[in-house]
Structure 1
Amino acid sequence: MKKLPPLTQFPYPGLRPFTRYESDIFFGRDEHTRELLKKLKETHFIAVLGESGHGKSSLVNTGLVSSIQAGFLDSAKIRWRVAQLHPGEKPLTNLATELKKAFAPTGEEESSPPSESSLPDEKYIIKLRNPSWYLPEGTCLLLLVDQFEEIFTHTSSTHKNTKTFVTELLRASQLSNVYVVISMQSEYLGKCAQFHNLVEAINQGSFLVPRLTHEQLREAIEYPARIFFGKVESSLVDRLVADFVDDPDQLPLMQHALMRMWNKAVAEKKTEIKLTLNHYKDIGEKNALSKHAEELYNKLTSKQQEIAEVLFRNLTDRDDYDNLCRSPVRLDKVAPLAEVSGEVVAEVVKVFCHGTDETDKPNFIKPCENLATETILELSHASLIRYWPLLKQWAEADAEDKELYLRLEKDAIAYHDYEEKLKQHQGWNQLKGNSNTSSTSKVPVLWQGNDLNKALEWQERMGNAAEHWVKRYHKKQSQEFDQPSFKKTINFLKRSKEKHGGNTPKEQVQQGVAKKIESLKSKWTTTTEKFTRGIIWWLFGSVAFVISVFMFAKSFEITTGILSIIIWGTLVFLSYKAFEHYDRYKELKGTTTKSKGLKVKKPK
């Protein structure tokens, strides 16, 4: 039996978008929803456009869908089936999966999504061409494609299945009982020209999502709390509006801050739940998102922190516009990169999903439930990359690693091919002569200098996970992983090190330690010599002092007495210097001994 939609349990969803079942807490978008409905009456295809953080997904998922199902689009059309999807890496497969659910008879259990290895079920794509034959009489179909830009970021737009996916959407929008709505970041609009008739369809039915006004923000802040019999202090409302009205990520940041404050207010267990400025200050004010992320990260063990870095590096990428963006990844693809089991990775995921106590509930990663090895993980919102400095640092570092490796692989293959050609033409000696050619030459050369050191550092940091990491980036570029090319690249790196003597960071540290030890040994030797000379002079002085005292005791001559005093003073001075050098000798000996046993940590 089909399950009923879950009831809303919290007034604020946090970082994730609103779902279609949360219309009771969705405020501030009534005007925009009415405009969308008006456009959808005029054309069966609408592209909802806007920058990241403007609330496109929430507007479509919650505002539009709930209004359509309530009959606000057309009073005669009140029976609807909704197929909602993200294109992901396999858009046609995902479309077939959602159509299978939409065409299923009412009351049947929704089928589980196909595995990654399965092909699209073509019969459901064919059904989309004549949905009236398979849907109950008077039923309309709404195709909702959220984050449409994934056909550019997660797969190749030139792939046959991707083109078929777009073609089927456009064909379906021409039918009387099918409506198609896509949401997409506006910066990808130009790329839509790659698909026949897509730009024309967008021109006829586009809706650019505006930011919320002051009044709309107030509604989004105050009204959800009232639904749950809570209040928001008026001074806090004013502060939130002032902080977020001009922020490009106003909605996810504000919703996350409200969610955090609500959870803290509930945890206080007072008779009245009221959000105040003190709650806002406690969560970090406008920096609540980054503070929350840092708190969760700092609660992890050192090993879990290493896994978290690998996880978040895999959840980000750089798009064609050089912007950092989200990148979904299967849980079992992260595990070998972190060199742990999938269960261990899942434990880290749960921390960033559910938090560590009842006041957390971060929802930084989705999905949060039923984690399995084949689960596809994704950041809840791209604003996390922009506002959590540590994640941004990881994402940028991983993007730089990607660029470095792709350049290394290209040069390695070129060098290998050039080498083979020279061997075929008995030009091996020419290769040796050109191996030191400058980088501006067209002749492929081994790497050296800073590039070589960076590549060696990457290899050392990746360790045994290097091959898994390379497979991941080849897949993102819709390329098959080539084992021979990978081996050529590693061999090229090895030969570059042998010829030009590049050093990994660990080796550089070890060399620095060795130099320090040599320096200490030199100082130790010098100090030892001074100490030895001081002891010898002290012994001579002692003998001279004893003799002079003996002579003075026998003769009582003033000259002998003065000489004894001078010798005594010299003896005191030499003794002082000798023991001074002895203290320095012990200090250097201890430092050198410690340096010999110094352990060098593997750089991250």
Structure 2
Amino acid sequence: MPRGERPLDEGDTPLLRFAADLRTLRDQAGGRTYRQLGTRAHYSATTLSDAAGGRKLPSLAVTLAYVQACDGDPGVWESRWREVAAEVAPPEDTASDQGSPPYAGLAAFQPEDADRFFGRERILDDLVGRMADRRLVGVFGASGAGKSSLLRAGLMPRIAEGAFECTSSIVVTPAELDLSPEVLDRVIGTEVDALVLVVDQFEEVFTLCPDLAARTAFVEALLTASRTRCRVVIGVRADFYGHCAQHPGLVEALRDAQLLLGPMSAEELRQAIMRPAAKVGCTVETALVTRLVADATGQPGVLPLVSHALLETWRRRRGTTLTPAGYEAAGGIQHALAQTAERTYTALETDQRAVARQIFLRLTALGDRTEDTKRRLARGELDNDDVDTQVVLDRLAHARLLTLDRDAVEIAHEVLIRSWPRLRGWLNENREGLRTGRQLTEAAATWDVLAREPDSLYRGTRLDAAAEWAARDEVRLSSREREFLTASLTARNREQTLALRRTRRLRQLVALLAVLLVLASGAIVQTIRAQAVADKQRNIAVAQQIAIAAVRMGDSNPTLAKKLSVAAYRLEPTRDVVDGLLTTATATWSDHLVRRVVPRDESSMGPDGNPVRGRGQAAGLDGTSEPDAVRSLGFTSGDRVLAATLDEVWDLTDPTKPVFLHRFPARVGSVALAPDGSRMATIDADGSTTVRLWEMADPKAPTLVSTVARPGIRGREVRFDQSGQVLVTIDADSTTSLWRLDSPSGPMVFGELRSIPHVATMALSADRRLLATGGVDGTIRLWDLTDPKRPTTLSELSVQADGIKALAISADGRHLASAAGSDTVRLWDITDPRRPSEPATITGPTASVHTIEFLPRGAAGPNTTVMTSSGDGSSRRWDFDEASAAARLCEGASLSREEWQRFFPGLEFVPPCG
């Protein structure tokens, strides 16, 4: 199918098919423009465009010239033309019946149509009666209610017939008066009371004039004229009633002088349908009258649709009779107008459709909380010398979609805006863009009126918005708008170029001054920088010395130790100073010592099962006789703290009052609680090869659920992962095994690490992908367990201490805690296990530590707080959060100015805890 053409259907006439084939021929010739065809055919571009429009059959001479310009065969097309001419020629018996249609279609009835204007006699009498008593009368009604026809074809002839003492009348619109009091004065003239001024479409006062002052001046001039020089009748769309109420003078003048025009009654509709047809010798079938009355009765704003549907039905009449079949073919009230508009639009060429779209958008005034309205457009706003524009205007006017006069163009009736889906879609696509275009049109007109004054050009954001809108494919600007926008962009580019030159000169000047300034101040900068470096080094040295001193006096003078640790930390928080702060905070933390030694045997327990003070036996420090040392900790979901020794299970929820829960039948060689306290694992003493698993639903009576046996290999150490579903064991041959406990067939090995020297303790991450091992050689190794059967080493941490006593990985897998025999507890950052780092180290008693655990979040602090249990029966908390440590040390103690001068001589006093 040729570019831009619509498909033919069964309803297309021979004339439409002939026009479509002409357009196809033009496309086959390379899509030549009509100007190019006109040069070859020696006919105007408009004439050739009309020939392919399908509105009427072109003459044979024009057709042959068109065909020759498109390199077609004249002989073939002459035969074709004669066939079509024979088909479209009117029959002899009906050719004489062709005359002026009895219906106005979308256009309002004019004074010369008074003999065809029926159905409004009663409301017209009411209007004439009101005008006899009032100087100004307002006629209000919905768009399409027939206000313009009532005023023009009804009231104007009545005035001419002498309904008043004055027989002279003028009908105008605000747009025609240019909303100017001066133009209004010239139109009225000098005769007093000898004129009736009819102002139709009065809502244009509000849609076309955004300036409140100018609008008020026009309304006041009209009111003055109605009181002194003429009678005034205004026709106003009903949805602008509230706008009229904003003018007090208009409100007063319209008091008891308002006529509300509603829908026609059924009888009035019959008169309006039948009597115009009878005037031209036609009849309307009763069934059609009944159908139209049923479709239109009680419908506001339906009269233009009725008139248009009747006009299209008249064109499809059978002889002199308007039939229901013709009405249906026209599309009825609801679709006749849209059908006419769509048919006219789609018959246009592709480029002409773009022109039509812009014309309709320019002819529509966007409503502000009201319906969109039509807008009278001056011809100067269009490119009148453009062939496509002339063709489109002619086609739309012939279809009675537009009305044209010498100076202006407007939509025939606003009902077209509501009834044509394509136009509604255009308006709804980008209403803000349409407002931008309307503002551009007005600005271009103002620029032209002011002799193209440069100061009236667009600048800034308005220019950006207009340029962006104009760049869209569907936008077509008039020549004046293009010139205005081009001039604005050129002016901006020129201003930017000048500004760039000024900026470049200023930059050169600034650069020169900067060089001079650098040369002049270089010595000063170097001096200041050297002084800053010296001050920094001095502060670091002082802070480190004070931090060491604070740690040393932790036992002898804990209060001063707290003050000095915080002061050193506030001065320069280096790594050594932070370690000193954490060490002092731990040493002076009254709550860090969680529990004292518990009884080792039943002889040390009272009748209630709780320990009796002073009857416990001290634990040894050689690592072999420490049955009372806590070997494992568990934190239940109910914030309950469980602890297991080699003999017993205890409740340490209240650290000041340990509660005995359970005693093993025989001492075990190793014990481990799941982190959530739900399970327990034990290794029997005396060289046993069996690991026993216990459920801890009732910690007072653990239930044996299964065993893990390693024939011939004695177990040395046992540990759970974070979920309690994986068990890690270390055997006497330093083999580390990973056991899955959730297998239906019982515990089973799913990963092993063999031949690892000196392994004494381990920790498994929550995701089971990272294992940390350590032992007497003071080296911590991190293992990748992505493939548990083939673990790989990620990194090694050489602590160089007296052996690694215990390890723990935080629940989030970001930190590793280690306790070594050199009185240090270290926190490692293992976010990247291939490159771990050591954020902090706390010094404290760790010689006989058996276990280390991270406290749960929310239980006793953040995830950087750990708990260790030692062979002396005590459990200690170690807090690696430097902020909370500093805050705790500041409680009740702050370094005074005198103390500051004593320990920090020559440094400016800054209260450490201020």
Alpha-carbon distance in structure 1 between the residues aligned to 2:365 and 2:288: 36
Q: CA deviation at 1:164?
A: 3.5
Following superposition of structure 1 onto structure 2, how do residues 125-164 of structure 1 map, counting pairs within 5 Å?
127-128=189-190, 131-132=191-192, 140-160=194-214, 162-164=215-217
Q: Normalised by the size of structure 1, how large is the TM-score?
A: 0.56
Q: CA deviation at 1:484?
A: 5.4
Structure 2 vs 1, CA of residues 250 and 463 (structure 1 numbering), >3 Å: closer, same or farther?
A: closer
Deviations 1:96-137 (A, max 9, x none): 6xxxxxxxxxxxxxxxxxxxxxxx496666x44xx24xxxxx
Structure possessing the higher radius of gyration over alpha carbons: 2
Return the structure number with greater helix share.
1
Alpha-carbon distance in structure 2 between the residues aligned to 1:122 and 1:453: 39
Structure 2 vs 1, CA of residues 142 and 244 (structure 1 numbering), >3 Å: closer, same or farther?
A: same
The equivalent position to 2:400 in structure 1, one of 363, 370, 378, is 363
Structure 2 vs 1, CA of residues 389 and 454 (structure 1 numbering), >3 Å: closer, same or farther?
A: farther
Following superposition of structure 1 onto structure 2, how do residues 425-574 of structure 1 map, counting pairs within 5 Å?
459-461=471-473, 465=477
Deviations 1:246-265 (A, max 9, x none): 33221000000111111222
Provide the residue aligned with 2:152 in structure 1: 61
Q: CA deviation at 1:174?
A: 2.0
Contact 1:86–1:146 (CA<8 Å) still a contact in 2? yes
Following superposition of structure 1 onto structure 2, how do residues 117-266 of structure 1 map, counting pairs within 5 Å?
120=183, 127-128=189-190, 131-132=191-192, 140-160=194-214, 162-175=215-228, 178-265=230-317
Alpha-carbon distance in structure 1 between the residues aligned to 2:244 and 2:289: 40
Structure 2 vs 1, CA of residues 278 and 146 (structure 1 numbering), >3 Å: closer, same or farther?
A: same
Give secondary structure in 1 for the equivalent of 2:101: coil
Contact 1:230–1:274 (CA<8 Å) still a contact in 2? yes
Q: CA deviation at 1:159?
A: 4.0
Q: CA deviation at 1:343?
A: 4.2
Give secondary structure in 1 for the equivalent of 2:292: helix
Contact 1:310–1:334 (CA<8 Å) still a contact in 2? no
Give secondary structure in 2 for the equivalent of 1:465: coil
Q: CA deviation at 1:165?
A: 2.8
The equivalent position to 1:38 in structure 2, one of 129, 150, 154, is 129
The equivalent position to 1:85 in structure 2, one of 147, 157, 172, is 172
Alpha-carbon distance in structure 1 between the residues aligned to 2:436 and 2:112: 45
Structure 2 vs 1, CA of residues 464 and 146 (structure 1 numbering), >3 Å: closer, same or farther?
A: closer
Amino acid at match of 2:392: V
Amino acid at match of 1:303: D
Give secondary structure in 1 for the equivalent of 2:171: strand
Provide the residue aligned with 2:325 in structure 1: 278
Q: CA deviation at 1:190?
A: 1.9
Q: Normalised by the size of structure 2, how large is the TM-score?
A: 0.38
Contact 1:147–1:183 (CA<8 Å) still a contact in 2? yes
Contact 1:89–1:150 (CA<8 Å) still a contact in 2? no
Give secondary structure in 2 for the equivalent of 1:208: strand
Q: CA deviation at 1:284?
A: 1.3
Give secondary structure in 1 for the equivalent of 2:328: helix
Amino acid at match of 2:110: T
Amino acid at match of 2:109: F
Provide the residue aligned with 2:359 in structure 1: 311
Q: CA deviation at 1:236?
A: 0.4
Following superposition of structure 1 onto structure 2, how do residues 394-433 of structure 1 map, counting pairs within 5 Å?
394-402=426-434
Alpha-carbon distance in structure 1 between the residues aligned to 2:239 and 2:428: 20
Q: CA deviation at 1:460?
A: 3.4
Deviations 1:38-97 (A, max 9, x none): 1111112100001101111111111112122223x34xx2x522121110175345x76x
Contact 1:257–1:283 (CA<8 Å) still a contact in 2? yes
Alpha-carbon distance in structure 1 between the residues aligned to 2:101 and 2:161: 23
Provide the residue aligned with 2:663 in structure 1: none
Provide the residue aligned with 1:426 in structure 2: none
Structure 2 vs 1, CA of residues 453 and 294 (structure 1 numbering), >3 Å: closer, same or farther?
A: same
Q: CA deviation at 1:485?
A: 9.0
Contact 1:318–1:324 (CA<8 Å) still a contact in 2? yes
Alpha-carbon distance in structure 2 between the residues aligned to 1:170 and 1:325: 25
Alpha-carbon distance in structure 2 between the residues aligned to 1:89 and 1:343: 27
Amino acid at match of 2:253: A
Alpha-carbon distance in structure 1 between the residues aligned to 2:157 and 2:256: 24
Contact 1:48–1:209 (CA<8 Å) still a contact in 2? yes
Contact 2:433–2:469 (CA<8 Å) still a contact in 1? no
Give secondary structure in 2 for the equivalent of 1:248: coil
Amino acid at match of 1:20: P
Contact 2:120–2:150 (CA<8 Å) still a contact in 1? yes
Contact 1:49–1:186 (CA<8 Å) still a contact in 2? yes
Contact 2:401–2:412 (CA<8 Å) still a contact in 1? yes
Amino acid at match of 2:125: R
- Computed over aligned residues only, the root mean square deviation of the Cα atoms, in angstroms, reads 3.6
Contact 1:326–1:379 (CA<8 Å) still a contact in 2? yes
List alignment gaps of at least 5 residues for structure 1: 1-7, 97-119, 133-138, 355-361, 409-444, 447-451, 473-480, 493-604
Q: CA deviation at 1:192?
A: 2.2
Provide the residue aligned with 1:567 in structure 2: none
Is residue 386 from structure 1 mapped to residue 418 from structure 2 by the alignment?
A: yes
Alpha-carbon distance in structure 2 between the residues aligned to 1:315 and 1:399: 14
Alpha-carbon distance in structure 1 between the residues aligned to 2:430 and 2:213: 26
Q: CA deviation at 1:464?
A: 7.9
Provide the residue aligned with 1:560 in structure 2: none
Alpha-carbon distance in structure 2 between the residues aligned to 1:281 and 1:364: 20
Is residue 321 from structure 1 mapped to residue 357 from structure 2 by the alignment?
A: no
Structure 2 vs 1, CA of residues 488 and 54 (structure 1 numbering), >3 Å: closer, same or farther?
A: farther
Provide the residue aligned with 1:477 in structure 2: none
What is the number of equivalent residue pairs in this alignment? 377
Contact 2:264–2:298 (CA<8 Å) still a contact in 1? no
Alpha-carbon distance in structure 2 between the residues aligned to 1:34 and 1:484: 57
Q: CA deviation at 1:144?
A: 0.6
Structure 2 vs 1, CA of residues 63 and 195 (structure 1 numbering), >3 Å: closer, same or farther?
A: same
Structure 2 vs 1, CA of residues 344 and 203 (structure 1 numbering), >3 Å: closer, same or farther?
A: same
Q: CA deviation at 1:311?
A: 1.0
The equivalent position to 2:343 in structure 1, one of 269, 283, 295, is 295
Contact 1:45–1:202 (CA<8 Å) still a contact in 2? yes
Give secondary structure in 1 for the equivalent of 2:194: strand
Provide the residue aligned with 2:101 in structure 1: 10
Give secondary structure in 2 for the equivalent of 1:203: coil
